[in-house]
Amino acid sequence: MTHATLPTFRHGVHPPERKASTAALSVERMPFVERYIVPLSQHIGKAAVPLVKPGETVVRGQMLAKPDGFISTAVHAPVSGKILNLDLQPHPSGQLMQAFTIQADSFSAQTVDTQVPPDVDSLSIQETIQWVQNSGLVGLGGAAFPTHVKFSVPQGKRIQAVILNGCECEPYLTCDHRVMLEQPGNVVRGLRLMMRKLGAQKGYIGIESNKADAIDLLKNILSDQPDVEVVALNVKYPQGAEKMLLDAIFQKEVPSGKLPLDLEMVVNNVGTAAALAQYFDDGVPLIERVVTVTGPAVPEPKNLMVPLGTPLFEVLKHCAVDLERIRQVILGGPMMGFAQKNLQAPIIKGTSGILVFEQPLAEPIGELPCIRCSRCLDACPMFLNPSRLAAMVRREWTDELQQYHLMDCFECASCSYVCPSNIPLVHLMRLGKLMIRQAKAKEQVK
Amino acid sequence: MIQPQPTPNLVLTTAPFLREGTTTPVLMNRVTLATLPIIGFSIYSFGLKALLVLLASVLGCLATEALLNRNRTEPKSLLDGSALLTGVLLGLTLPPAIPLWLAILGGMVAIALGKWVWGGLGSNLFNPALVGRAFLQTSFPTVMTTWTDPFQGWGHIAKPNLALPLMQGAVDGMTAATPLGMAKFDHATTAMDLLFLGKTAGSLGETCAGLLFLCGLWLAYKKVFDWRLPVATLLTAGLFAALLHGFFPQRCVAGPVAMLFSGGLLFGAVFMVTDPVTTPLTKKGMWIFGFGVGSLTLLIRVFGGLPEGVMFSILLMNAVTPLINRYTQPRVFGGAR
């Protein structure tokens, strides 16, 4: 496959891939540990509402907290044991957040006791949404957007195509790659389930060409299914952003400020599709996920199936990391992930990887003046002008920021990646978006 | 009970944790590196005086940068490569026989008035090297239009080179004419091979068209600058030259290729029009900027009083760059076409 012939989106960057050390490793199970921290908020939207109290015993797979409204989802026990506490605990976001602390029952067989959903084809769309919401399933690509919301199509709209996102464009991460290789059947069944429930005629699976084995495998499985197409894409970051993926596959732009829904499409992560198919088979809610543990400070890199709520230090110890020597831990990929300070924080639904370094990847370095080299304009997949926007954020020109479409920025950090003057561009974009939101909130108060 | 865990001293920074790694000093130094063949040819062609003029101009720039930067704690700008580059570029636009003290003065003006009065690197509206040159051109017009023949020997130093500040003797009796001067005042053309191989009189760095072309190609290949800027400039100039040469052969004796290869056009297109700070950020803006420089240069060369117009064209377009940026903002992804 030559790169020039493969489709891709416009602009973007080419960070080093660094997937070699885990790409060929099968997913292993992380053993159960003593104690789990299960936050009520592991997804985009409102935090879940607790259903159990400290002191109660819970069974693995039992719902611990129910959704609060539509843009919210359930949280389940990753392990059988006893609820020790419901209080503020370290969270991967860096804040302290309400979370259950669960003492695992070391004598339990850790079997899951849940209700298996009925045959999905006998369910109405509303019932399907209800079941999916109760499964706690969210987008497993990293943003953790509740999956059931994507089944809800507004009146007058329809979905023509379901697109599965197998780009995994972030360096280091290989969990989606492994899911495609080890559960290709689940991926395809999950896609078909979405297509049936949404009435979509066509399905697509977009995969970057550095995962040739996954492309070949899925193409083989789908060779007799003409309505589902595997699309090999040129490797480029941030192709996994849904707007970029649709631009790459269909050369269509989602209108500014709108969703893929406006192109009559919906995008889901391949891991999400596999988890969805699995859920309608055995009824096991989202209580574990595949996490890539890698980086130069990890002696035994792994793709691990980790129970949600496992503290980070337990995962690192399992991969033989010397906790005394490490200097930087990043959750997610190196382009959009979050550096961690507290290793007591748990793995949550959106955690796709743990990257560990003995030398910090990005030490705070001196910033030089902008020389208007226009590299950030060439990198920005949304065709924004980060150089100008950054200057506006520093002057707090909230109105101009909106005129220059700052709200279209999805913080992929391509601008910061290329900036020769080390200007914290994406950081300033985040700040500017906050300013706009605050200005709007103030307006509403008036 | 859970064992207390060691708490490593983890560094907290925000994403992205990876950087492409080409820094601003690297970019500056790459341009300086690209001038080395031109410097080499200049010394080969004009002898020792070329090296002395370049050193004087660089000295003027670095000394001024050090002086003006001394009270700033961060960032230290003396070694970021930008003042060095300004010095080299200014030096390459000066006539070989210029008094050395004028080269130093030009460097001081370039950095002080061209850059620091605006707030230092990245804040200036005009190309600093050209500000220095424009200052010299307007203040010492005779010196700046007195040319010497190339190939007078390796160790050649013109008498005016060593003239003392503000004293007589700044102009030598031995002068030569540049190809553009000959075209304008004598209606004479210069052979293409002389232009291409740099066997003519002119500013230190502008004579060898072939070498300039190669250096430009390398810089574009290395993505140090956006190719649109020089290409737009040269295309426009070539087109205008062809038109003017066709319609007014008396006024415009040089054809399009000779027009591109003579004077400072190629040097300006490769090293001045491509200065990121003073040129547009947007693709559309780059085309407009190049069009402006190319057309203005030809208007000055053919209809103006001066034989050469690259410098003033670029400075004029520098002045409208903020306006160009403002009106050529890129269409947002998913926005109306």
Average of per-residue pLDDT across A225-236: 96
As for the ipTM of the complex, it is 0.90
Q: What is the pLDDT of residues A84-107, one digit of tens each?
A: 999 999 999 989 999 999 999 988
The pLDDT, as a whole number, for residue B170 is: 55
Residue B15 placed within a domain: no
The pLDDT, as a whole number, for residue A1 is: 43
State the Cα angle at A220 between A216 and A225, rounded to 5°: 130
Q: What is the pLDDT of residues A292-348, one digit of tens each?
A: 999 999 999 999 999 999 999 999 999 999 999 999 999 999 999 999 999 999 999
Q: Are B265 and B319 in contact (CB under 8 A)?
A: no
Cβ–Cβ of A408/B333 closer than 8 Å? Answer: yes
Query: Min CA distance, B28 vs chain A (Å)?
Result: 10
Cα–Cα distance measured from residue B65 to residue A36, given in angstroms and rounded to the nearest whole number: 59
Q: Which of residues 53 through 72 in chain B touch A, CB cutoff 8 A?
A: none
Whether residues B81 and B216 share a domain: the answer is no
Q: What is the pLDDT of residues A420-441, one digit of tens each?
A: 999 999 999 999 999 999 999 9
Domain limits at A228?
A: 3-11+18-23+117-282
Residue A77 placed within a domain: no
The pLDDT, as a whole number, for residue B198 is: 85
A327 touches B: beta carbon within 8 Å? yes
Confidence of residue A2 (pLDDT cuts 50, 70, 90): very low
- On the question of pLDDT at A364 being above 70, the answer is no
Q: Which of residues 373 through 412 in chain A touch B, CB cutoff 8 A?
A: 373-374, 377, 381-385, 387-388, 404-405, 408
- On the question of pLDDT at A446 being above 80, the answer is no
Domain limits at B32?
A: 24-176
The total number of structural domains in chain A stands at 2
Residue B271 placed within a domain: yes
Give the closest of B2, B22, B123 to A420, CB-based. Answer: B22
Cα–Cα distance measured from residue A349 to residue A111, given in angstroms and rounded to the nearest whole number: 20
pTM reported for the whole predicted model: 0.92
Residue B214 placed within a domain: yes
Give the closest of B8, B16, B18 to A326, CB-based. Answer: B8
Task: Tell me which amino acid residue B77 is.
Answer: S
Average of per-residue pLDDT across A188-216: 96
B141 touches A: beta carbon within 8 Å? no
Give the closest of A34, A329, A408 to B332, CB-based. Answer: A408
Hey, is A5 helix, strand or coil? helix
Q: Which of A282, A304, A328 is the last residue of a domain?
A: A282
**Beta bridge partners of residue A268, listed in sequence order:** A164
- On the question of pLDDT at A202 being above 60, the answer is yes
The pLDDT, as a whole number, for residue B1 is: 42
Whether residues A168 and A272 share a domain: the answer is yes
Residue A108 placed within a domain: no
> For residue A264, what is the domain's CATH number?
3.40.50.11540
Question: Which chain B positions have a beta carbon within 8 Å of A247's beta carbon?
Answer: 333
Q: Which of B176, B201, B227 is the last residue of a domain?
A: B176
Average of per-residue pLDDT across A98-127: 90
Residue A31 placed within a domain: no
Residues of chain B with pLDDT under 50: 1
Q: Which of residues 315 through 334 in chain B touch A, CB cutoff 8 A?
A: 325, 329-334
Q: Which of B176, B207, B237 is the last residue of a domain?
A: B176
Residue of chain A whose Cα is closest to the Cα of B16: A335
Average of per-residue pLDDT across A42-61: 95
Residue B14 placed within a domain: no
Q: What is the pLDDT of residues B36-48, one digit of tens each?
A: 999 999 999 999 9
Residue A50 placed within a domain: no
Peptide bond into B75 cis (omega under 30): yes
**Beta bridge partners of residue A328, listed in sequence order:** A357
| SS3 annotation, chain B | CCCCCCCCCCCCCCCCCCCCCCCHHHHHHHHHHHHHHHHHHHHHHHCHHHHHHHHHHHHHHHHHHHHHHCCCCCCCCCCCCHHHHHHHHHHHCCCCCCCHHHHHHHHHHHHHCCCHHHCCCCCCCCCHHHHHHHHHHHHCHHHHCCECCCCCCCCCCCHHHHCCCCCCCCCCCCCECCHHHHHHHHCCCCCHHHHHHCCCCCCCCCCCHHHHHHHHHHHHHCCCCCCHHHHHHHHHHHHHHHHHHHHCCCCCCCCHHHHHHCCCHHHHHHHHCCCCCCCCCCHHHHHHHHHHHHHHHHHHHHHCCCCCCHHHHHHHHHHHHHHHHHHCCCCCCCCCC
Q: Which of A256, A282, A308 is the last residue of a domain?
A: A282
Query: Min CA distance, A223 vs chain B (Å)?
Result: 34
The pLDDT, as a whole number, for residue B145 is: 86
